[in-house]
Homo-oligomer: A and B are copies of this chain.
Amino acid sequence: MTRPEYETTQAESLAWLASAHVQAESTLHTLDTDEREGFQRRIERLIEHCACGEDRIAHRGASLGDIENTDWSSTDQIYDLENHPHGKGTGARTRLFARAVKKYLREEYIHESRPPADLIHVTCTGYASPSAAQHMVESRGWGAQTRITHAYHMGCYAAIPALRIARGFVLAGDVMPGAAPRVDIVHTELCSLHLDPSTHTPEQLVVQSLFADGFIRYSVSADADGRGFDVLALSETIVPDSADAMTWVVSDWGMQMSLARDVPARIAAPLRTFVHGLFEKAGLDPVADFSESVFAVHPGGPKIIDEVCQLLSLSDDQVTASRTVLFDFGNMSSATLPHIWMRILDDAAVASGTPVLSLAFGPGLTICGSLFRKR
């Protein structure tokens, strides 16, 4: 994992958010000083009421310097809100994404001597071709060895489809001469690029207080030795009648999210059956092995972890990594689950042989899950 270039505390981040909303409103409706102050009080109350607070998220990272800046006239920002009350258009956001991710991928691979057979680039926050993955592979002279797959626009659960794709590549064993027999998966999520501070709904304030940027890489191979996880089972399902509960759509000012309040409840309904199915698919005991398991739950928001804990009767110890990743970094979309996996791998308190059940959620509503065993 690599931390984004900029980072703020959640307190700073929420103050910035309030200021951004005030400026957007002021630009759109030419507020006078009194109106501006009135609106500021209103938005601060709203943020206090519905945003994710400092008790659940300590810091959030971003690839754009905007988050340290409240000079809203600065035209080299995405959020130059005096000129663009929604923030700049989608083109400018995509260009910033492309620059930041190109830099990350170059640095991520700078000490890598062998090209992977496959590189799966996962993101739902920026689409420019050639992608940063293609640029890196070409610049390293790996163009004939490394195949690139874009696993784009699958939202927060994308690590599981990426693993599913990687598993197939490993089984195919189609490795070009000179390449290492491994599939690299690289997540680059720049969620901070997709705010629209001119929309002051509670829904948008929740989203804007929760999401953050994240970068992480890991590998999948047939090799069963050394540090890592064995993948025992992967599973996915779409919750009936829930298509409208969460949307993520390429729009005029970046990408636009909608998020219904009842997402945790809708996900909860089929969850016990889903988890039971994963244990069966993996050939594990849904009772004995369950109680020994650690759970990597994508922290869509703080509520979803609480909901999953209650529903599956989990102890706090079983979801420590999920809570601490949310606390340390916020919701980094698809990059979050891999960050949780790294924590579990590094955690000496999680013994070798421990089953690790992962859950992630996204538009569909889609529930994705995996069952690993820690080596």
Contact = CB atoms under 8 A, between A and B. Distances in A.
Interface pairs A-B: 7 shortest CB-CB: A168-B168, A143-B238, A129-B363, A91-B251, A89-B252, A171-B171, A91-B252
A350 interface: no
Given A174-B234, A252-B91, A129 B149 contact: no
A183 to B, nearest CB: 10
Interface string A120-146: 000010111111001101100101100
A362 to B, nearest CB: 7
A73 interface: no
Contacts of A248: 128-129
Contact of A128 (B167, B239, B249): B249
Contact of A165 (B168, B243, B364): B168
A interface, size bucket: 35 or more
A154 interface: yes
Given A129-B247, A149-B154, 20 more contacts: A89-B252, A91-B256, A95-B249, A129-B154, A129-B249, A131-B153, A134-B363, A135-B243, A138-B238, A138-B241, A147-B164, A148-B236, A148-B364, A148-B366, A150-B152, A151-B151, A152-B152, A164-B172, A168-B168, A171-B172
A240 interface: yes
Report copies per complex: 2
A130 B171 contact: no
A338 interface: no
Contact of A130 (B129, B141, B151, B364): B364
Contacts of A137: 238
Contacts of A131: 153, 363
Contact of A153 (B95, B127, B161, B165): B127
A144 B363 CA distance: 15
